[in-house]
Amino acid sequence: MNAGYALIACDVFADELSGLFVDPPWRDLVFLQMGLHDYPDKLRTSVQAIVDTLDADGRFDHIALAYGMCGNGLVGVQARSKSLVIPKAHDCISILLGSAERHEAILKANPATYFYSPGWIRNRRVPGPDREHWLKSFYTERYPDDPDLVDDLIAADVSVFSHHNCAAYVDLTNDRRARCYCENCAGFMGWQMTQHTGDASWLQALVRGPWSSDKFQIVAPGESIVAACSQLSMQ
């Protein structure tokens, strides 16, 4: 870490990164919009574009990524002259929970779990009352002459979440408004709600080090991120 680093972070971590780290050690911080994991190719090209920009910056030797597997959206990313540092996480939820194992255990206990966090809630597209409003306006603009189709599209979106039955709230920042919002969403969806206290140690380690090999993959300059199947991580 002595040589310094730049951080590329999903916007889902904006609250945690600004709330937990006063006088942060990164030399540069670039946020990318959240939700790109739904479009892994777009996530890949967006991250690669930022990496390419940072690659020429002589102030640091590493580029840290506040991402996990995220739909394998980071596979193929490479830097020419910097090392890439990536948490061995499934996604932001693993990082907020402090370990991939804890994340896996919650899903194993109930595969019908849908995770909420303050950042994820911030975009108001989580399953809940605001999502329907957002979709209605989005699709009405796209298909202005076909209200039946818009209704069908909203019904289809509702069906996407029909197999879930539990809103799992994960928080590192004690955000009461976000928790309350999650409660509302759970009620709206007819789900139970569980709360899981976040564990900041992984995010702390990403920001302050050390980047231990059990928690982080370091990808050398010129090498690409690949999906390492044996441990579901990057190498």
Partner 1 sequence: MEPKLNELSEAIKAGRRKEAKLATEELLAAGVAPEEVMSALSAGMDDVGRRFKANEIFVPEVLVAARAMQTSMNLLEPVLLSVGSEPEHTVVIGTVEGDLHDIGKNLVAMMVKAANFKVVDLGTNVSPDAFIAALREHRAAVIGLSALLTTTMPAMRRTVELIRESGVAVKVMVGGAPITQQFAQEIGADGYAPDAASAVDEAKRLIARTAA
Contacts with partner 1 by CB under 8 A lie at 39-42, 68-69, 71-72, 75, 90-91, 103-104, 107-108, 111-112, 135, 139, 149, 152-154, 156-157, 159-160, 163-164, 226-227, 229-230, 232
The structure tokens 């329907």 sit at: 132
Of the two residues 22 and 229, which places its CB atom closer to partner 1 in the complex?
Answer: 229
Of the two residues 163 and 177, which places its CB atom closer to partner 1 in the complex?
Answer: 163
Minimum separation from the CB atom of position 198 to partner 1 (A): 18
Rounded CA separation 235/217 (Å): 6
Rounded CA separation 18/42 (Å): 25
Helix (H) or strand (E) segment spanning residue 136: helix 129-142
> Residue 210: is the preceding peptide bond cis (ω within 30°)?
yes
Minimum separation from the CB atom of position 58 to partner 1 (A): 34
| Pairing between β-strand 166-171 and β-strand 113-116 as defined by DSSP bridges | parallel
Of the two residues 30 and 75, which places its CB atom closer to partner 1 in the complex?
Answer: 75
56 neighbors 31 (Cβ within 8 angstroms):
no
Minimum separation from the CB atom of position 118 to partner 1 (A): 22
Of the two residues 2 and 159, which places its CB atom closer to partner 1 in the complex?
Answer: 159
> Assign residue 72 a region: left if phi > 0, alpha if psi is -120 to 50, beta otherwise?
left
Minimum separation from the CB atom of position 152 to partner 1 (A): 5
Query: Residue 164 corresponds to which tokens in the numbers above?
Result: 């879930």
Q: What percent of the chain is helix, strand and coil (3-state, nearest 5)? A: 45, 20, 35
Of the two residues 20 and 107, which places its CB atom closer to partner 1 in the complex?
Answer: 107
Minimum separation from the CB atom of position 111 to partner 1 (A): 5
Query: Residue 75 corresponds to which tokens in the numbers above?
Result: 């596979």
Strands (E) in 81-144, as ranges, are 83-87, 113-116
Of the two residues 108 and 177, which places its CB atom closer to partner 1 in the complex?
Answer: 108
Minimum separation from the CB atom of position 75 to partner 1 (A): 7
203 neighbors 18 (Cβ within 8 angstroms):
no
